[in-house]
Amino acid sequence: MSLTRRSFVATAATLAAGAAASPLRSSAQPATDAGLDSDAWLERPLIGTAGDPLGVRPDFPAALSKCYLNSAYIMPVPKQVAAVGRAFVDRKLTDPIPLGEMLKQTDVVRAQFARLINASADEIGFLFATSEGENIVANALDLRAGDNVVIDALHYETEFVLYGHLRDTRGIDLRVVPHVNGAVRMEDFERVVDKKTKLVSVAWVSHQNGFVHDMRALAELAHARGALLYVDAIQAAGMIPIDVKATGVDLLCCGTYKWLLGGFGVAPFYVRQGLLDRITLDRYGALHVARELPGDKFEIHATAKRFDYATLPFAEVYQLGAGLAYLERVGVPKIEAHTVTLAQELRAGLASHGKRLFTPEGTRSAIVTYWLDEDPAAVKKRFEKAGVVATVREAKREVRVGVGLFNTAEDITSFLRTSRGDS
Ligand SMILES: Cc1ncc(COP(=O)(O)O)c(C=O)c1O
């Protein structure tokens, strides 16, 4: 989704609205660090340099102290997000933010996330983790013997646990599309998605090797056979542009501690307009009540806000707001162009060193995975000594690299040197 000046200004304006300049500032507590505790940073121009094309490195201390290439695992946050987290706790220390104000800010963040994926705010609820979205969907579809669910071999572990459980307890047919040389082919989906398929579920970008699905083709296939398409977007949102309308995705959920520059415990959940009667609630509480009716009756929100049934981890919601504002300020298309280019250069370098790549050539994500022909424990030690941070999966003998917006061509060179064992 392209960032328009209007949407940026809207974000800045909403963040600047409310008591004092910041939604977090208590009138009793002036800002101590005008650079971070206020929203002034939103208006500061980003000055790119040859070594830091996006002009973001000074905001990411984690990137300055190490060669941090592990954003597919946990993305370090920029200073601005940390400042919002600290300010939230400070308010709790001195002058707790009232619930109504936190709920208002939650709606601001809901609108920010909706913009990021080209949805409407009414289509976004807040859950606590990516897996919660999939559990809600699986429960709502009331899957039974004879129904099938189609996933693929590059999906996350949750799907194998969840649908494996439903296969064992309810007799559903779990169909796993294999990958071929690290890619999952549409023709293989076409072979197994049929009239009894209730759900096709994929990760937009695979955590295993960064493979990116053709979401539009998958949505068309699922819909043509009467199924819904659920997407785990935790490795995609904030890394590459996401457009749920253009692709036809029905349902999507993602944690926010990776590419969205947030923390743990909050996961936006997109439910396409028109699906709320199928994706029914399985839990109830005080906070999704839109109106109290006579006789102890309650009208629950008619929008996806109905999934916010109880108090949320509001400190994380506020930090997510700052993370999303940061992403809007930099622009996801720019982040994609920078990180995907570096990832492709890294892949090419690894291939030229004779490494066996799990990530297919041409992959347009910021993740690169390769197999090790040497002792993974020794590689881990070598990385530690060189200050290189990446995921070494010892049991699978794999290394996964996740390139963040703050990484540089120099980081890629350092990584290539260390992976080869050059000092
Ligand atoms: C593709 C994918 N899905 C989900 C998760 C995490 O799921 P959850 O937010 O439910 O803990 C990860 C974490 O690495 C992931 O890579």
Could you read off the pLDDT of 184-243 as tens digits, one per residue? 999 999 999 999 999 999 999 999 999 999 999 999 999 999 999 999 999 999 999 999
For ligand 1, is residue 237 a contact (CB within 6 Å)? no
Nearest atom in ligand 1 to the alpha carbon of residue 131 is 10
pLDDT tens-place string over residues 123-156: 999 999 999 999 999 999 999 999 999 999 999 9
Domain count of the fold of the chain: 2
Q: Indicate whether 236 and 317 sit together in one domain.
A: yes
Distance 165 CA to ligand 1 centre (A): 18
**Residue 22 — very low, low, confident or very high, per pLDDT cuts 50/70/90?**
low
Element (H, E) at 201: strand 197-203
Is 317 part of any domain?
A: yes
Nearest atom in ligand 1 to the alpha carbon of residue 155 is 1
Distance from C-alpha of 211 to C-alpha of 320, rounded to nearest angstrom:
26
Distance 213 CA to ligand 1 centre (A): 17
pLDDT for res 25: 59
Q: Indicate whether 302 and 363 sit together in one domain.
A: no
Question: Which amino acid is it at 204?
Answer: W
Distance 396 CA to ligand 1 centre (A): 18
| Cα distances (Å, whole numbers) of residue 5 to 43, 107, 396 | 11, 21, 45
CATH assignment at residue 109: 3.40.640.10
- For ligand 1, atom 2, name the residue with the nearest CA: 156
pLDDT for res 40: 80
For ligand 1, is residue 257 a contact (CB within 6 Å)? no
Domain residue limits at 301: 105-326
Tokens of 100: 């109504």
Q: Indicate whether 242 and 267 sit together in one domain.
A: yes
Distance 256 CA to ligand 1 centre (A): 10
Cα end-to-end distance, the chain, whole Å: 41
pLDDT tens-place string over residues 81-128: 999 999 999 999 999 999 999 999 999 999 999 999 999 999 999 999
CATH assignment at residue 400: 3.90.1150.10
pLDDT for res 37: 56
Is 240 part of any domain?
A: yes
- Pairing state of beta strands 197-203 and 228-232? parallel
Q: Indicate whether 306 and 405 sit together in one domain.
A: no
For ligand 1, is residue 208 a contact (CB within 6 Å)? no
Is residue 169's pLDDT more than 60?
A: yes
Q: Are 286 and 103 in contact, with CB atoms under 8 Å apart?
A: no
Average pLDDT over residues 15-35: 45
Q: Indicate whether 295 and 395 sit together in one domain.
A: no
Q: Indicate whether 307 and 339 sit together in one domain.
A: no
For ligand 1, is residue 406 a contact (CB within 6 Å)? no
pLDDT for res 13: 34
Is 203 part of any domain?
A: yes
Q: Indicate whether 256 and 120 sit together in one domain.
A: yes
Is 34 part of any domain?
A: no
For ligand 1, is residue 156 a contact (CB within 6 Å)? yes
Q: Are 282 and 141 in contact, with CB atoms under 8 Å apart?
A: no
pLDDT for res 418: 97
Tokens of 326: 């940061």
Q: Indicate whether 147 and 291 sit together in one domain.
A: yes
For ligand 1, is residue 207 a contact (CB within 6 Å)? yes
pLDDT for res 21: 41
pLDDT tens-place string over residues 294-321: 999 999 999 999 999 999 999 999 999 9
Examine the fold and report which residue of 304, 326, 348 is the final residue of a domain before the chain moves on. Answer: 326
Distance 236 CA to ligand 1 centre (A): 11
For ligand 1, is residue 235 a contact (CB within 6 Å)? yes
Is 12 part of any domain?
A: no
Q: Are 192 and 221 in contact, with CB atoms under 8 Å apart?
A: no
Examine the fold and report which residue of 326, 361, 377 is the final residue of a domain before the chain moves on. Answer: 326
- Mutate which of 130, 184, 369 for ligand 1 pocket (most atoms within 8 A of beta carbon): 130
pLDDT for res 200: 98
pLDDT for res 39: 76
Is 37 part of any domain?
A: no
Nearest atom in ligand 1 to the alpha carbon of residue 254 is 9
Beta strands in 28-139 (DSSP E): 67-68, 124-127
pLDDT tens-place string over residues 373-398: 999 999 999 999 999 999 999 999 99
Q: Indicate whether 414 and 280 sit together in one domain.
A: no
Question: Rounded to the nearest 10 degrees, what angle do helices 5-16 and 99-117 cross at?
Answer: 170
Distance from C-alpha of 262 to C-alpha of 396, rounded to nearest angstrom:
29
pLDDT tens-place string over residues 235-276: 999 999 999 999 999 999 999 999 999 999 999 999 999 999
Least confident of 35-49, 163-177, 269-283: 35-49
For ligand 1, is residue 203 a contact (CB within 6 Å)? yes
Question: Which amino acid is it at 128?
Answer: F
In the block, which residue shows the tokens 């197994």?
Answer: 192
pLDDT for res 361: 97
pLDDT for res 51: 87
Q: Indicate whether 320 and 405 sit together in one domain.
A: no
Q: Indicate whether 282 and 388 sit together in one domain.
A: no
Nearest atom in ligand 1 to the alpha carbon of residue 134 is 10
Instruction: Summarize the chain as % helix, strand, coil (round to 5).
Output: 40, 15, 40
Q: Please give the share of the chain, as a percent, with pLDDT higher than 70.
A: 91
Among the listed residues 113, 131, 129, the one whose alpha carbon sits nearest the alpha carbon of residue 121: 113
For ligand 1, is residue 359 a contact (CB within 6 Å)? no
| Cα distances (Å, whole numbers) of residue 275 to 33, 123, 303, 362 | 45, 10, 10, 35
Distance from C-alpha of 138 to C-alpha of 181, rounded to nearest angstrom:
30
pLDDT for res 26: 52
Q: Indicate whether 163 and 279 sit together in one domain.
A: yes
Is 58 part of any domain?
A: yes
Is 17 part of any domain?
A: no
| Cα distances (Å, whole numbers) of residue 4 to 8, 115, 326, 330, 342 | 6, 11, 14, 11, 25
Nearest atom in ligand 1 to the alpha carbon of residue 257 is 9
Distance from C-alpha of 165 to C-alpha of 174, rounded to nearest angstrom:
10
Nearest atom in ligand 1 to the alpha carbon of residue 232 is 3
Examine the fold and report which residue of 271, 305, 326 is the final residue of a domain before the chain moves on. Answer: 326
For ligand 1, is residue 130 a contact (CB within 6 Å)? yes
Neighbours of 325 (CB within 10 A): 24
Q: Are 300 and 283 in contact, with CB atoms under 8 Å apart?
A: no
